[in-house]
A and B are shown apart, each in its own frame.
Chain A
Amino acid sequence: MSDDQVQVIDARLLSKHYGRYTAVDAVDVKIRRGEFWGLLGPNGAGKTTFLRMITGAIAPSSGSLRVLEYPVPAQARPMRRRIGVVPQLDNLDPDFSVIENLRTYAGYFGLSGPDLDTHIEGLLEFAALESKRDARISALSGGMQRRLSLVRALVNQPDLLILDEPTTGLDPQARQLMWQRLRELKSKGITVVLTTHYMEEAQRLCDRITIMDHGRLLDSASPSELIKRHIEPHVVEVYGDDAEAWHLGVGAGLADRSEQVGETWLYYALDEEPLVDALKASHGISYLHRPANLEDVFVKLTGRELREA
């Protein structure tokens, strides 16, 4: 078996039930070494439960799971020596400074000494936190805290990095910096598992995306392949007061598929020309012509109803 065929995560028919509620339902997942894998799904889809089974925090109800070739949860403790976890909500230690947070966390892996100090210096630089080394956590911005959480997860030089919504709540600048750092990690060959609600994030970073809902995996492919598989290449959005009249009079006949979302009509077409020409001719109609994207796929597969789990 060649090196890149080694499965970092190998889940077979993995399920988790809470009483009669099924959080994760017979999931099969294989993640190759070096892959950047995105797990997308609405709130309550089962993503966090799945990740918590990966780290051995909760035991599966059935199925088998191997992470870095360790059977989990049986061998979860030694397996965790080789993974890094960035949790959904920061759980940095508020009683410690930035550098003490890293040293303390390294202590849980039994790491200390000059090699660790060198590694921590590199991590501070990577996180752009050198000037904050002695700052308390409460003195850090949200973006700084997230970056500290990221490098804390790298303190043991993990083979697998698990990121649960790493950029939720960050401003665009902080998010860009986070993406840049994640791309750097990817280029170093680290295997990454990412969950996110930001489609742009998933589309930019992930080699492969799996969409999950109601505990099941709906589809899995590269971002471009997913889009090609589910959505016509062109999307035209028509909105404004006259949109409905235009749809009934003209638009409905020009697209392969259309749907109404609020006050906007969405047209999906293999050939966008008839639509765009007609819209140009109908003065005063507001529209947007764009390529199909991951959000179109996500909404098509998981539906439009609001999830407030």
Chain B
Amino acid sequence: MAVTWVQLLDSLRGGRWRAVWWRNFRVWQRLAGPAILGNFGEPLLYLLALGYGLGSFVGDMQGMRYIVFLASGIVVSSAMTTASFEGMYSAYTRMEVQRTWESILTTPLSVADVVFGEAVWGATKSVFSGVAILLVATVLGAVGDARAILVLPLVLLTGLCFASMSLVVTAVSRSYDFFLYYTTLVITPMLLIGGVFFPLDRMPQAIQIAAQGLPLTHAVALIRPLVIGTIPHHVALHLLVLGLYTLVPLMLAVRLVNRRMGG
């Protein structure tokens, strides 16, 4: 593990990972039209349908209109799904199908550069989607005030966290089908009990405790208050949990990809 840590630090210091990020960004640019439409279209549909539709039955939630509650949750869940899918399906394509990583690894870049570049790229896509959702939510009157802009660095961290976790899955995956395990067993449960669609406080005690061990819950606890115009509590704790869920998977991914590519 010490070697991996050195490699990762060396990558951070060298900044070579930016070439990997730049490559992915350039590809994204080519297909930016549909990507941006998706960034805006999806949250708009969700907020309209669930926010107004379901919201008219639900009424207020935790003292706010349901659409406000939902919008602040979707910023977080979308950061999770965007980064996770980029780290799984898209990264797997680059690793296994197009063998882009193989070509990169014959240059002065290391596995750590590739993994970190991919993770930051996944996080960047989370920010793209976060910006789109905040804009849509602002238009729909679901954003508290200008402090909502502060969520963007937190969305970046959330994206980095979930991109790193999904890269671990990708590093051990033998096919696209394998990702269904992770999606079904990790992503979807987190989406449902992370506090995105409804608050946790009326859930059974066991689920509330389990949810405290999951990164999404902590991302919601940081981001929701800022979107609705209040101040988050226990900031250091939430940051610590997200940080650990980023660093440990990142190191594990570097180690596993090293093993896989060195096969």
A residues with a Cβ closer than 8 A to B are 55, 57-59, 77-78, 80-81, 83, 85, 87, 89, 91-96, 100, 104-105, 107-110, 156
- Complex contact A108–B27 (CB within 8 A): no
Residues in A with CB closer than 8 Å to B110 are 77
- B106 contact from A85, A92, A96, A100, Cβ within 8 A: A85
In the complex, besides A92-B103, A93-B103, A108-B19, 20 extra interface pairs with C-beta distance below 8 angstroms are: A58-B262, A77-B108, A78-B108, A80-B106, A81-B107, A85-B106, A87-B106, A91-B100, A93-B23, A96-B26, A100-B26, A105-B103, A105-B107, A107-B22, A108-B16, A108-B109, A109-B108, A110-B16, A110-B108, A156-B107
| Minimum distance in angstroms from A243 CB to a CB of chain B | 47
Determine how close the nearest CB of chain B comes to the CB of A183; give it in whole angstroms.
23
Chain B residues whose CB sits within 8 angstroms of the CB of A87 once the complex forms: 99, 102-103, 106
Residues of B whose CB lies within 8 Å of any CB of A are 16, 19, 22-23, 26-27, 30, 98-100, 102-110, 261-263
A95 & B27 in contact (Cβ 8 Å cutoff): yes
How distant is the Cα of A80 from the Cα of B225 in the complex, in angstroms? Answer: 49
- Report the minimum CB–CB distance from B94 to chain A (whole Å): 9
| 10 intermolecular pairs with C-beta atoms under 8 Å apart | A77-B109, A80-B107, A87-B99, A87-B102, A91-B98, A104-B23, A104-B26, A107-B19, A109-B107, A110-B16
Chain B residues closer than 8 Å to A58, beta-carbon distance: 262-263
- Closest beta carbon of chain A to B106's beta carbon, Å: 4
A87 to B19, CA, bound (A): 21
Considering the complex, give the chain B residue whose CB is closest to the CB of A86.
B106
A110 cross-chain contacts in B, Cβ below 8 A: 16, 19, 108
Nearest B residue (CB) for A92: B103
Shortest beta-carbon distance from A230 to chain B in Å: 34
Give Cα A117–Cα B30 distance, bound, in whole angstroms: 21
Q: Is the contact region of chain A dominated by helix, strand, or loop, or is it mixed?
A: loop
Measured between beta carbons, the chain A residues less than 8 angstroms from B107 are: 80-81, 105, 108-109, 156
Name B27's closest neighbour in chain A (CB-CB).
A95
* A110–B20 alpha-carbon span in the complex (Å): 11
Residues of B contacting A59 in the complex (Cβ-Cβ under 8 angstroms)? 262
Asked if A93 and B100 sit within 8 Å, CB to CB, the answer is yes
Residues in B neighbouring A78, C-beta threshold 8 A: 108
Q: Shortest beta-carbon distance, A190 to chain B, in Å? A: 16
Q: How many angstroms between the C-alpha atoms of A77 and B111 in the bound complex?
A: 10
Residue among B27, B30, B100, B106 with the most chain A CB within 10 A? B106
4 closest residue pairs by CB, A with B: A108-B107, A91-B99, A85-B106, A91-B103
CA distance A57 to B261 in the complex (A): 8
* Cβ contact of A55, chosen from B19, B104, B106, B263, cutoff 8 A: B106
Quick one: which of B23, B30, B102 contacts A91, CB cutoff 8 A?
Answer: B102
Instruction: Return chain B residues, CB-CB under 8 Å to A107.
Output: 19, 22-23
* A residues in contact with B99, CB < 8 Å: 87, 89, 91
Of all chain B residues, the one with the shortest Cβ separation from A81 is B108
Give Cα A57 to B103, complex, Å. Answer: 11
Q: Of the candidates A57, A80, A92, A109, which one forms a contact with B262 in the assembled complex, judged by CB atoms under 8 Å apart?
A: A57
A175 to chain B, nearest CB (A): 23
CA distance A108 to B30 in the complex (A): 20
Interface-centre pick from B23, B107, B109 (highest chain A CB count, 10 A)? B107
B-side contacts of A96, CB under 8 Å: 26-27
User: In the complex, what residues of A have CB within 8 A of residue B27's CB?
Assistant: 95-96
Q: What is the bound-complex CA distance between A32 and B39, given in angstroms?
A: 56
Q: A110–B30 Cα gap in the complex (Å)?
A: 22
Contact pick for B108, options A89, A104, A108, CB 8 Å: A108
CA of A168 to CA of B149, assembled, Å: 55
Bound Cα distance A109, B14 (Å): 12
Give the nearest-CB partner of A78 in chain B. Answer: B108
Q: Which residues of B contact A80 (CB under 8 A)?
A: 106-108
Q: How far is the CA of A108 from the CA of B19 in the complex (A)?
A: 6
- State A109–B113 Cα separation when bound (angstroms): 12
Task: Point out the residues of chain B lying under 8 angstroms from A93, CB to CB.
Answer: 23, 98, 100, 103
